[in-house]
Every structure is written in C-alpha cells, then in structure tokens.
Amino acid sequence: MDWTDQGIVLSARKHGETSAIVSLMTQEHGVHAGLVRGGVGKRSRGILQPGNTVQAHWRARLPEHLGAYTCELVYAQAAVLMDHPLRLAGLSAACALVETTLPERESHARVYESLLSLLAAMAGDHWPADYVLWEVEMLRELGFGLDLGCCAATGETENLAYVSPKTGRAVSVAAGEPYKGKLLPLPGFLLAEMESVEDGQVLDGLKLTGYFLERHVYAPHGGEIPPARRRLVERLSRAAG
C-alpha cells in the first residue's frame, strides 16, 4: 500500500478540476494507475507526458484503492521527440498498446525494459523497424509468439516469405504460392538484422503484428486496436507515399 518505483508514463487523464489519473508502466509493479493531485497544472503537465520516465511514489489506504501518486521527472523523452510528429506517433502507439494489453498491477519487467529501449531507439533513423520488432516481442510476452524459424509445411528454413494467419507460423515461397492471397507477408527484417529496411517492409510488419494483436488480444474481449496505433500506421503510410 506504499511503494516507490520507476515508471514510464502511459497516459494522464483529467479528473475533476485540478487532478489527473495517471497510468504508469512501472519496473516492478506493472501497469499501475493512481491519482496525481494538481496533475493538470503547468508543472505537472510537463512531467506527466506519455513516454517520460518518472520516479513514482504510490500510497493508498487499502491495496484495491486507486491510491495517489507523487511523481518526479527522471527523463523527458516526450520533449526529445517534440519536433518529430511521426516519432511522437510511434511513442503514443507503444504507450497505448502497453496500457491496453497488459493486466493491471502484474509485474512485466521485460516489457518495462523493452519499452524503455524502444523509446531510446526512437531518437535514431531506424526506429520504425525497431517498433515492429518490439510488437513481435509484445506478442511473445502476451503468450502469442510468432513461429518464424521454419516453414510450417516443409520445415525448410530458407526462402520464408509468408505467415499463416491461422497458426502464426512461417511459410516458404514454394509452399505458399497456391495460397499467397490468404497469407500474411513476412518482411525479411523479422528474420535477420538488416542495415536498411524499406517503408513497405515496415508496413508489412505492422500488418502482420496488427492482425495477431487484433485476433488474439483485443477481439476476444470485445476490444479494438487503440486509435493511437491506427494513426501510426496511417502516418507511416502517408510518409511512404
């Protein structure tokens, strides 16, 4: 009922006249919400931007209560990306996915570390590919990992070009040829590290991960892919021309 942890701000929503309900992805306590009194004030708004890392102290009278946060800024990731709308869209999409896919108050230390790494990578030029790889890792963490090691039909490990929408397993060019209209494209950078990744491959990767997120994570609970994630795909599509 009283703990201190480091966390990444996922969202901050106004509550009442001056407060905000803030959701953090914390290092040890998972996705955890709390009330920040004065959270809509000028000083707090700068701290509680999605993507920022904070040192948070949470306190409540009972464990099941919402509780109250006090937060101190550790690193202002949002400010670093402020002049890059496309990267901010990626940041927003990642924060929204974490907040809407993970159960609250359940530790997921690997997700915390991977989100921290992804946000740092967004300062570089290859962040869209890093983002897709991060979604692949998220699927694995959620229990729906893709099997891209060999062809589901033949067992071969070369010339893999598709993914079965039913099984999440890779399919080779030859085995998939008769069914390619029903298969999902498998971009090469998901199989091996590449120096450069084309925009079309990134979009294929987002189509692939989005399909399985929708099918396995959101649809069973009557949910949908977060709007922030859809906006990222739209922005990347426009940027690709």
- In terms of residue numbers, what domain contains 41? 2-78
Q: How far is CA 69 from CA 5, 34, 50, 137, 209, in A?
A: 11, 5, 16, 29, 34
For residue 171, the model assigns a pLDDT of 97
60 and 142 belong to one structural domain: no
The answer to whether residues 141 and 28 belong to one domain is: no
143 and 47 in a single domain? The answer is no
pLDDT at 45: 86
Residues 56 and 125 in one domain: no
Which residue matches tokens 């033949």?
154
User: What total of structural domains would you count in the chain?
Assistant: 2
CATH value at residue 108: 1.20.1440
Predicted local confidence at residue 64, as pLDDT: 87
Please give the pLDDT value at position 38: 92
Answer yes or no: is 163 within a domain. no
**Low pLDDT (below 70) residues in the chain:** none
**What CATH code is carried by the domain that includes residue 19?**
2.40.50.140
pTM: 0.94
C-beta of residue 201 within 8 angstroms of C-beta of residue 188: yes
Residues ≥6 apart with Cβ < 8 Å to 156: 150, 172
* Residue 31 forms part of a structural domain: yes
pLDDT of residue 43: 84
Query: Would you state the pLDDT for residue 63?
Result: 85
